[in-house]
Amino acid sequence: MRKGKRFAGWVLSAVLALTFSLTACSDSGGSSQSQTNGAGGKEEPVKLKFSFWGDTIEKKTVTEALKRFEEKTGIEVEPMHVPADYLTKLTTMVAGNVAPDLGYLSSGAALSWGADGKLLNLAPLIEKDPDFKKEDYLDQVWYEIAPGNVIGMSTAVEGYGLMYNKDLLLEAGVELPPTEAAKAWDWDTFVEYAKKLTLDDQGRNALDPDFNPEKIRQFGLQYDPYNMMAAVVSNGGNFLTEDGKGFGLARPEAIEAIQKLADLMYVHHVSPTPLQTKNLPDTALQTKKVAMTVSGNWALQAFAEQDFNLGVGVLPKLKESNTLLDGAPTVIFQSTKHPEEAWLLYKYMADPESVLPLIEGGLWMPLKKEWYTNPELINKWAAGNKAHPEGYTEAYMKQTIENGIRTPGFEVKNLDKINALVTPALDLVWTGKTTAEQALKEVEPKVQPLIQGYYGR
């Protein structure tokens, strides 16, 4: 799921410990594993197609889960792994009436396609299924077009926080980031520590008056500004106004937060610019090019394979401590000929037990509430392994479910068209060419006519 983890608006646009049942959602209560061939009267086995993206580990785990489902049910499943240009391929398939039965979808496409009737409403299936209880799942993971029109839930939960090379902080005498929301660093403390951890080629940190920002060998922080919504909401702002009628990013609270992110790069010189980021390796924490990074839960999978002393903490706060809660949805396409069998597979793939390697490996967080409260289940994935270091259950797990702010991709109408304007405007801020206030105030009159409010409200 790495492709879909960033804030859905700016990129291309999440538990379930569920007892698997072969009972379909039909009124008869039977599971249809075959269909009648009208011409010859013969029954043919049901075959489903499941589309998904992801790296090698995700591909392997998902494919193996699909195979186990097939063995349990006799329902054949064809894995359709699309490593690149996923949305382009799915768009073409939907237009050609050859869409898969179910699969991953980016947030923006899911909302617009759901509104256009291209995705199956899961509410009737949920209501008829005695083995499925919607209240067993985190409230934040559902994608709802309107009351009673549920198009899916996150494929996995993704939360954000601080990840860092513990040895670098200890060497610099920097306090380790707090793991509890109540103790989160305020912004000034965060910047001060980031400066202390930022070193030029002579070993001088960014607090030294002789520090050379043109020759940085170690950044104190890597903060991808496109993950900006946590800071915006922490400062009292949001993407749209609360009533869904105004452009929230052009309000003072949002502008202030966005400018503070830009200042990390161009005023304090503690975080790499987009150009400098391109030259940083994926092993920047391990190789001491970066001391701390703000990233989503999925990064833990890669960091667990690297050789360094990984630590985690909650994000710094402006006014209130929070984090982003992200996760692109899995959906069932309206064109499926086998909605009941697709629902069985949907439930199975959402079960943490089915995809446990991705959860305990750090890529995903589970969807079902019990996996965040039952100590036995928590120990299955969030403790005692390299991908979930000390403090993870507080800094990521607890923070995400208690203070997770859903990204706009869950509910903002017309998001893709709005971001077609907002993204290039913010690019000017992230590249240091203009201020947040100037960029957002200038784009506001163009954005305002596109604002249509929120889905599900």
- How far from 324 is each of 140, 159, 253, 361, 363, CA to CA, in Å? 11, 6, 17, 20, 16
Residue 384's pLDDT is what? 84
DSSP symbols for 28-82 = T-----EEE-TTT--EEE-EEEEEE---HHHHHHHHHHHHHHHHHH--EEEEEE-
Per-residue pLDDT of the chain (457 residues; tens, 9 = 90+): 444 433 333 333 333 333 333 333 333 333 445 454 444 455 678 999 999 999 888 999 999 999 999 999 999 999 999 999 999 999 999 999 999 999 999 998 999 999 999 999 999 999 999 999 999 999 999 999 999 999 999 999 999 999 999 999 999 999 999 999 999 999 999 999 999 999 999 999 999 999 999 999 999 999 988 789 999 999 999 999 999 999 999 999 999 999 999 999 999 999 999 999 999 999 999 999 999 999 999 999 999 999 999 999 999 999 999 999 999 999 999 999 999 999 999 999 999 999 999 999 999 999 999 999 999 999 999 988 999 999 999 999 999 999 999 999 999 999 989 999 999 999 999 999 999 999 999 999 999 999 999 998 7
pLDDT at 224: 86
pLDDT of 20 reads: 32
* The CATH number fitting domain 2-157+327-381, selected from 1.10.10.10, 3.40.920.10, 3.55.10.10, 3.40.190.10: 3.40.190.10
Q: What is the pLDDT of residue 399?
A: 96
pTM across the whole model: 0.87
Q: What is the pLDDT of residue 123?
A: 97
Q: Which residues have CB under 8 Å from 91's CB, separation 6+?
A: 109
pLDDT at 43: 66
Residue 45 has a pLDDT of 83
103, containing H or E segment: strand 102-104
Could you give the angle at the alpha carbon of 347 between the alpha carbons of 354 and 6, nearest 5°? 75
Please, where in the chain does CATH 3.40.190.10 lie? 2-157+327-381, 159-325
The CATH architecture to which 159-325 belongs is: 3-Layer(aba) Sandwich (3.40)
